[in-house]
Amino acid sequence: MRFAPLLMVAALAAPLAGLPVAPAQAQVPPPGAPTSFAPLAQRLLPAVVNIQTSQAAAQAQAQRRPGAPDVPQAPPGSPFEEFFRDFLERNRPNGSPPGAQPQPNRPQPPARRGQSLGSGFIIDASGIIVTNNHVIEGADEINVVLSDNTTLRAELVGADPRTDVAVLRVRPERPLPAVTFGDSDTALVGDWVLAIGNPFGLGGSVSAGIVSARGRDIRQGLYDDFIQTDAAINRGNSGGPLFNLAGEVIGINTAIYSPSGGSIGIGFSIPSNLARNIAAQLRDVGRVRRGWLGVNIQQVTDEIAESLGLTGGARGALVARAQEDAPAAQGGIQAGDVILRFNGQEVREMRNLPRIVADTAVGSQAPVVVWRDGAERTLTVTVAELPSDQAAAGAPTPAPEARPQTLELAGLGLTVGPITPESRERFSLRPESRGVVITEVSPGSPAAERELRPGDVIVEVQQERVNTPQEVQERLATLRRQNRATALLLIESAQGQRWVPLRLAAPTGSPG
């Protein structure tokens, strides 16, 4: 570990000789701010634990970088790094070079075990503990150190890598102090919070801050909905609780943004309203059952909203594909629908929907409000359990034998053609692909601006299926006659299906 030199800190803090020093002023807390967090911290600290894990040397070795020196982990540039390296050099058999195999006749030291530290918190006096999955992942031994330094062996009850939540069980001789989950939805930006954990393995510590932001997506998974806080969170705080001033857990401290590895005031916590449900399922059945709808979705942009006549601006989740035989298709949801509300909850944007569906009870019937054909419709779907493997290709149908000429779509910079055996081979199209294939894209055209490429397939135009280049041309001509500014195309590429709003530039030679 790297610690700042205390003498240097003291020198910088001292007033410079000869300069006037303002008299010390008593700190007056703003209205509503606590004068001290001590009573709250004293009550909560006993329920926060240190988690120590270890794994076999072979497993720890497998996780190291190939060719990395056999040196215990220390921060780069740390004095300990050189110490460990020198120690190993002095104790290498017969001055053998680095990486040399141990001599068979010389007694070998016992294999080292990889170790890590983290935090957790007790939610049940019988010994149920919540932490992060990444704190205990890969461990073959887990120990929990209580606030009184009692060490207990822990067993893994269940873990969910998708949300980074894990549940442990210890078997104490007496009831343990426990804390409860609060309602994270009531936490407002600017509210005071406390983060308690075990940074750097130094022991229980408390840091205070505020809720900096809500609903953060840090690209960790489908269910990202993090609380951001400026309460100091460092290594070893992972899995520890984030408390409100009522002493309720409103988050699990999980990640930080830091170029140095230390806290710079940007920390992220899993909201308790997500973690509570996950922890309950892990405790009860050892795994998580998530609701599943069976749709591919994308964000609704302003242009897409305009193309669909969606009132109220860009909102909801646009369905790019409803998987066959999945709950959505069985409930009547179609490609091109915009899901506005699911099971009574508003879908503000695309990324809200997976979390809302996942939290819906498997087997329940959920009302779904969609935008279709310029109006809201209410459908009902029966939520299924998220399968472990969702890949299910449709059965291929014979490709058409005829090969009409390609067709240039004037004003768009696109040349399209039918899907034939030749075009399938040329563009490596999937056997089940249906529609009209793009064969050329003119540089600087509206199509190029939307990153359309040769080999992309136009499946629908303005939510109507197209099978020939002539059908695409007719749909676009109809939209121009209606004075539409954009055409909404359903495009299939190697990455999947997506809706693309394409600006309808006037064809060359036509009135503008």
Q: Which residues pair with 418 in a beta bridge?
A: 436
Q: Which of 116, 160, 164, 307 is catalytic?
A: 164
What is the phi/psi pair of residue 458, to 5°? -85, 115
Tokens at 14, concatenated: 């001292």
In one letter, which amino acid is 324? E
With beta carbons less than 8 A apart as the criterion, state whether 49 and 152 touch: no
Q: Which residues pair with 165 in a beta bridge?
A: 160
Q: Which of 54, 124, 134, 493 is catalytic?
A: 134
Cα-based angle 285, 286, 292 (whole degrees, multiple of 5): 75
* CA-based nearest residue to 207, from 183, 241, 176: 241
The C-alpha atoms of residue 188 and residue 230 are separated, in whole angstroms, by 14
The C-alpha atoms of residue 1 and residue 76 are separated, in whole angstroms, by 10
Active site residue 140: no
Tokens at 212, concatenated: 């900096």
Tokens at 28, concatenated: 């007056």
CB-based contacts of 452: which residues, under 8 Å, 6+ apart?
A: 414, 438, 441, 491, 500, 502
Active site residue 78: no
Q: Distances from the Cα of 357 to the Cαs of 209, 293, 316, 334, 360, in angstroms? A: 32, 7, 14, 17, 5
Q: What is the four-CA torsion angle of 341, 343, 344, 349, rounded to 10 degrees?
A: -30
Q: Which of 238, 269, 307, 445 is catalytic?
A: 238
The C-alpha atoms of residue 460 and residue 472 are separated, in whole angstroms, by 8
Q: What is the four-CA torsion angle of 258, 261, 264, 269, rounded to 10 degrees?
A: 70
Active site residue 134: yes
> Within its chain, how far is the Cα of 333 from the centroid?
26
The C-alpha atoms of residue 397 and residue 383 are separated, in whole angstroms, by 30
Active site residues: 134, 164, 238
